[in-house]
């Protein structure tokens, strides 16, 4: 792994990093990945790859919930006329 | 006079019902204790300003003859569980001023009983850590030696209970975050079967691993809290029902994975204490069986693939658009970059990048895919093991509480999770119970033993834990 790989990951994750942070993260990542790499050696035979997952459905019915519109809109970093305001994306 | 040192939830219930003291009296004593100790220990990030009003409501309920196990009982709540209208920050700058717009399911259940919420407690940022050193609001100190960590990530909740600043607490446990601090501070911490307690309203870290757990002075109290919060919930699609797992019949056999316990990195004094604990269990009439679980030693490695993968996905939502921190940039992309760069602390960024890496094209199969396969195999191994034994016992942590700042390398901190991780990976319930002390630098540091039980066998877990506790 190199600094440019850390930069690429940070871009994918939308996180701004300083040069120093990049260096620190590079050495941390190398040490952690070095440790987790041991899974390469593990041989899995006859493992039943059954995650025991199933869909959980519920009836599509209206259940009134006690939500305060104000509590939600008060959290908006920027708002106009009660609507969330964001920068233009196009 | 209320003696907080000996008071338990069970005792307090009797005394509240008998009107020996009121909920207001009890809450006042705790508030005074918090006032005295919290500045140094930093267990609470916020003490709620309406504690006495809550207690008054509880007293009115008691006056009407109502009685619930937690009515009027003062509890501490980890700062990643939502209480409507109150701040909840996950100990992060990202959510510094965030106010919850709804109650977590566990909070709804506690409110129905008339429990008192004293405040929100410190944690590693987004529950990512094992020492509470990753909090954006300072470290929580261990009441047994204030130069040492309390453990984490539920360090604040555990210290609140251990230092008599709350009678019980809620924490969350993704890889040991309830059990490890409980062992460091000499109290009980319990993580239920995955899905037994609703995660609705818990700020997510690793969704396939996260559990809300109970923290108390003894097993009976931990069970009282657990009994009050578990149950199927339609608002959490991974919530399970009572019949999800077959009923387990006990054989009185405890399995010990000696190959792991005798491995590297375990403090000799911890091992010695564990051996003594196992002898005590033998004296209680349990048969002890040496077990070997294939790939048990690898669970830590797969945890540090699966957890960051899930965390990086979960934390993508914090983008400064709808709530939380917002940093203004020239365009929307720059808003994201600046907000996440400023809002997330070092460990959180580390895990997001790690998760982004193991999920990226070209690495996905080798890391995440392989880890999931091993996880399935390990779960299978555990099910086989529980055909022969009731309980798997290990030390809770390979080492006692470390000095604040001592572990600067993240990997060395991760290795402290070696025994607790597995219960989250395979989804079984587990508990940490105090097993004695070890002396370092003239300070007595608590140690804990961990019991793991089959899926859905919480009752048996509590039973063994109670028997062991009576011997200590």
Provide the residue ranges of all domains of chain A, joining segments of one domain with +: 3-84
Q: How confident is the model at residue B222 (pLDDT cuts 50, 70, 90)?
A: very high
**pLDDT at site B1:** 80
Contact B302 A39 (CB under 8 A): yes
- The ipTM of this complex is 0.92
pLDDT-based confidence at A56, cuts 50/70/90? confident
Per-residue pLDDT tens for B311-370? 999 999 999 999 999 999 999 999 999 999 999 999 999 999 999 999 998 999 999 999
Q: Do B356 and A9 touch (CB under 8 A)?
A: yes
Least Cα distance to B316 among B425, B198, B207, B213 occurs for: B207
Check pLDDT > 60 for residue A46: no
A49 pLDDT band, cuts 50/70/90, is: low
Q: A18 — alpha (psi -120 to 50), left (phi > 0) or beta? A: beta
Residue A48 predicted with pLDDT over 70: no
> With contact defined as beta carbons under 8 Å apart, do B199 and B210 qualify?
yes
Under the banding of pLDDT at 50, 70 and 90, the label for residue A90 is confident
Q: Which residues of chain A make contact with B336, given a CB cutoff of 8 A? A: 14
Alpha-carbon torsion angle B201, B415, B141, B203, nearest 10: -10
State residue A47's pLDDT score: 58
Q: What is the percent of chain B where pLDDT is above 70?
A: 100
Residue B335 contacts A, CB cutoff 8 Å = yes
Residue B404 has pLDDT above 90, yes or no: yes
pTM summary value: 0.96
B383 CB near a chain A CB, below 8 Å? no
Decide if pLDDT at A51 tops 80: no
**Is B341 near chain A, with CB under 8 Å?**
yes
CA B138 to CA B257: how far, in whole Å?
37
Q: Which two tokens stand for residue B376?
A: 């399935």
Residue B365, CA distances (Å) to A33, A53, B130, B307, B361 in order: 15, 20, 28, 16, 8
Whether B374 sits inside 8 A of A56 (CB atoms) is no
Q: Do B323 and A77 touch (CB under 8 A)?
A: yes
3-state secondary structure of B98: coil
């Amino acid at each position: 792994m190199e600094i440019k790989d850390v930069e690429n990951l940070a871009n994918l994750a939308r996180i701004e990093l300083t040069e120093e942070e990049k260096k620190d993260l590079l050495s941390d990542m190398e040490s952690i990945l070095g440790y987790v790499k041991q899974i390469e050696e593990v041989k899995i035979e006859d493992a039943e790859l059954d995650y025991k997952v199933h869909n959980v459905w519920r009836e599509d019915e209206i259940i009134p919930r006690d939500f305060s519109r104000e509590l939600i809109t008060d959290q908006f970093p920027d708002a106009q006329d009660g609507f969330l305001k964001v920068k233009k994306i196009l | 006079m209320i003696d907080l040192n000996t008071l338990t939830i069970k005792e307090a219930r009797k005394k509240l019902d008998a009107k020996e003291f009121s909920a207001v009296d009890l809450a006042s004593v705790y508030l005074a204790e918090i006032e005295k100790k919290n500045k140094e220990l930093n267990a609470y990030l916020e003490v709620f300003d309406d504690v006495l009003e809550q207690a008054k409501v509880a007293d009115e309920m008691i006056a009407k003859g109502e009685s619930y196990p937690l009515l009027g009982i003062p509890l501490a709540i980890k700062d990643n569980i939502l209480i409507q209208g109150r701040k909840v920050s996950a100990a992060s700058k990202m959510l510094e001023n965030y106010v919850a717009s709804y109650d977590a399911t566990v909070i709804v259940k506690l409110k129905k009983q008339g429990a008192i919420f004293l405040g929100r407690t410190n944690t590693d940022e987004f529950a990512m850590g094992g020492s509470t050193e990753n909090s954006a609001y300072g470290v929580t100190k261990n009441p047994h030696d204030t130069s040492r960590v309390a453990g984490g990530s539920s360090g604040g909740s555990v210290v609140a209970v251990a230092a008599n600043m709350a009678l019980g607490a809620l924490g969350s446990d993704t890889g040991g975050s309830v059990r490890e601090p409980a062992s460091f501070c000499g109290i009980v911490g319990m993580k239920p079967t995955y899905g037994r307690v609703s995660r609705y309203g818990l700020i997510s870290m690793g969704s396939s691993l996260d559990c809300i757990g109970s923290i108390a002075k003894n097993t009976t109290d931990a069970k009282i809290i657990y009994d009050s919060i578990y149950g199927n919930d339609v608002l959490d699609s991974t919530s399970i029902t009572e019949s999800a797992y077959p009923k387990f019949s006990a054989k009185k056999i405890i399995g010990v994975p000696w190959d792991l316990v005798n491995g590297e990195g375990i403090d000799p004094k911890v091992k010695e204490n564990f051996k003594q604990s196992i002898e005590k269990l033998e004296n209680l009439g349990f048969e002890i069986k040496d077990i070997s679980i294939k790939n048990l030693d690898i669970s830590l490695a797969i945890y540090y693939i699966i957890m960051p993968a899930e965390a990086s996905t979960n934390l993508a939502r914090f983008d400064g658009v709808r709530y939380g921190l917002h940093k203004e940039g020239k365009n929307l992309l720059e808003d994201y970059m600046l907000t996440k760069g400023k809002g997330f602390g070092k460990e959180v960024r580390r895990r997001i990048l790690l998760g982004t890496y193991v999920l990226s094209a070209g690495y996905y199969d080798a890391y995440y895919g392989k880890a999931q396969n091993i996880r399935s195999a390990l779960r299978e191994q555990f099910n086989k093991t529980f055909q022969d034994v009731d309980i798997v016992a290990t030390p809770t942590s390979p080492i006692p509480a470390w000095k604040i700042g001592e572990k600067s390398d993240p990997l060395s901190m991760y290795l402290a999770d070696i025994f607790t991780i597995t219960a989250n990976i395979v989804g079984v319930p587990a508990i940490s119970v105090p097993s004695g002390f070890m002396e370092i630098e003239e300070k007595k540091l608590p140690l804990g033993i961990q019991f793991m039980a089959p899926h859905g066998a919480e009752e048996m877990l509590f039973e063994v834990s109670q028997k062991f506790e009576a011997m200590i």
